[in-house]
């Protein structure tokens, strides 16, 4: 190679590289025979005004050139989006809001046309079209009250019967931050009849009790309605629990692996009484969703025979240690004391949804009676049933004991509605059950 050629070599090399690049680009432009891909979402047939339609387009070879989105309704074309891409865009997303009123309630079709930037084969090979049909439902469900008398007690239970103009994806009664699900009733002659067990929570005085029926349909439309009720205030007792070193030493080992091995015995006990108690109560709400949509029980609930009341529902407890107050909690059940290891009967017919150790409750059994109504049996020394067993009223499910945070052999008996503890005594009263529950069911 002579000197002149050596001088020109870099120029030639640059020209070759440029030519190759142009050739590669040209190859993509002229030989990209794959049209853009189009995805129209969401993957649902019925949409509401709050629903966002998402159109995704992509061409990873020559890039996107333009995009047109129209809605077709009643043979009328409604332009929604027109885009021209000049920057070699490979992927794009467009969001269509349905709350602007451009699309009316009813059936409509989204039609999307996308072209890529290829020049070969000079025709529609670089073009894609896609369509998807939806139904816009912007009408909320209508709520029809079926039961009109609701005489309630603070800490007590109630039943509301109502129907809807359509089947709901979620419905129930909201009380503040708490939600009590309603359950669609089969074979009632009404295709959308719902039963909803709810409560006046013990910590909600009548002045703050504002129950609202809510219903949400498949399109996300939400309806709300209040109803007539009368809530009676109740005064709950105060109690003192005196903690001793002997009690702490005998109780805390049962929670091995659940409590940080830090601090004093009192520190560990307070962790159990607060953090673990909070976790356990949250589990009651989770268990309440494992319920049958129909009533499994009948008549009054039975109590532990020949048992004395030791603590009542919603007692406000102060915990004392060496003469000073160290904690405060609310006792959300009834403590019933009989003989040691007394046989414990099932309160009513139902299905076992929990039978194991559960923190502060010790050995614990939960029976589902349907519609979110469940009864609980805590501190048992032994358990005779297993999850999914069917039990009948009075059947022995275990024996009393002192497991968990129990100061002695007894049964902690609880009743929950939607996972919220309620006054168990109401469920022992046949007159109350008739007036407040069964009389509302035709």
CB 297 within 8 A of CB 159: no
How does residue 6 score in pLDDT terms, banded at 50, 70 and 90?
Answer: low
Model confidence pLDDT, tens digit, residues 39-69: 999 999 999 999 999 999 999 888 999 999 9
Q: What is the pLDDT of residues 212-234, one digit of tens each?
A: 999 999 999 999 999 999 999 99
User: Percent of the chain scored above 90 by pLDDT?
Assistant: 84
Identical topology for domains 32-136 and 143-232: yes
At the fourth CATH level, the homologous superfamily of domain 143-232 is: Immunoglobulins (2.60.40.10)
CATH domain 240-440 topology? Glucose Permease (Domain IIA) (2.70.70)
pLDDT computed for residue 4 by the predictor: 53
Where residue 150 falls among pLDDT bands split at 50, 70, 90? Answer: confident
Residue 17: pLDDT band (50, 70, 90) is: low
- The correct answer on CATH 1.10.150.120 for the domain covering 32-136 is no
pTM for this predicted structure: 0.86
Beta strand 315-321 pairing with 238-243: parallel
C-alpha–C-alpha distance, residues 279 and 347, integer Å: 25
pLDDT mean across residues, the chain: 92
Query: Where exactly are the structural domains of the chain?
Result: 32-136, 143-232, 240-440
pLDDT for 8 equals 55
Q: What is the mean pLDDT of residues 11-17?
A: 53
Q: Which has more confidence, 383 or 121? A: 383
What is the reported pLDDT for 28? 46
96-117 pLDDT, tens digit per residue, is 999 888 999 999 999 999 999 8
State the average pLDDT over residues 143-161. 94
The mean per-residue pLDDT over the stretch 388-408 comes to: 97
- pLDDT at residue 300 above 90? yes
């Amino acid at each position: 190679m002579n000197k002149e050629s050596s001088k020109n070599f870099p120029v030639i090399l640059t020209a070759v590289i440029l030519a190759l690049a142009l050739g590669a680009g040209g190859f993509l432009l002229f030989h990209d025979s794959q049209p853009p891909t189009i995805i129209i979402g969401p993957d649902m047939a019925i949409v509401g005004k709050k629903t966002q339609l998402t159109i995704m387009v992509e061409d990873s070879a020559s890039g996107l050139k333009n995009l047109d989105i129209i809605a077709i309704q009643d043979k009328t074309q409604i332009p929604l989006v027109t885009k021209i891409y000049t920057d070699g865009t490979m992927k794009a997303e467009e969001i269509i809001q349905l709350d602007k009123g451009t699309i009316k309630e009813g059936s409509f079709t989204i039609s999307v046309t996308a072209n890529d930037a290829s020049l070969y084969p000079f025709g529609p090979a670089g073009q894609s079209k896609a369509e998807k049909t939806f139904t816009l439902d912007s009408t909320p469900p209508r709520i029809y009250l079926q039961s009109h008398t609701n005489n309630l007690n603070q800490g007590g239970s109630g039943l509301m019967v109502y129907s809807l103009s359509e089947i709901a994806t979620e419905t129930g009664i909201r009380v503040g931050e708490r939600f009590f699900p309603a359950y669609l009733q089969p074979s009632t002659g009404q295709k959308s009849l719902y039963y909803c067990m709810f409560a006046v929570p013990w910590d909600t005085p009548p002045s703050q009790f504002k129950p609202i029926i809510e219903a949400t349909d498949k399109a996300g439309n939400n309806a709300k309605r209040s109803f007539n009720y009368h809530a009676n205030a109740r005064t709950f007792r105060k109690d003192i629990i005196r903690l001793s070193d002997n009690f702490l030493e005998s109780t805390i080992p049962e929670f091995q692996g659940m409590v940080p091995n830090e601090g004093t015995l009192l520190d560990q006990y307070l962790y159990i009484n607060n953090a673990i108690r909070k976790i356990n109560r949250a589990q009651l709400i989770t268990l309440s969703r494992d319920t049958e949509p129909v009533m499994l029980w009948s008549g009054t609930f039975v109590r532990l025979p020949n048992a004395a009341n030791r603590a009542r529902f919603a007692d406000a407890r102060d915990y004392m240690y060496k003469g000073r107050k160290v904690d405060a909690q609310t006792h959300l059940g009834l403590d019933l004391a009989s003989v040691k290891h007394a046989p414990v009967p099932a309160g009513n017919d139902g299905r076992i949804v929990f039978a194991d150790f559960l923190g502060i409750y010790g050995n614990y059994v939960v029976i589902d009676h349907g519609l979110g109504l469940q009864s609980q049996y805590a501190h048992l020394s032994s358990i005779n049933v297993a999850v999914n067993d069917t039990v009948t009223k009075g059947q022995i499910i275990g024996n009393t004991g002192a497991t968990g945070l129990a100061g002695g052999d007894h049964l902690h008996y609880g009743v929950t509605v939607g996972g919220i503890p309620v006054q168990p005594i109401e469920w022992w009263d046949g007159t109350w059950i008739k007036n407040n529950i069964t009389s509302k069911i035709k």
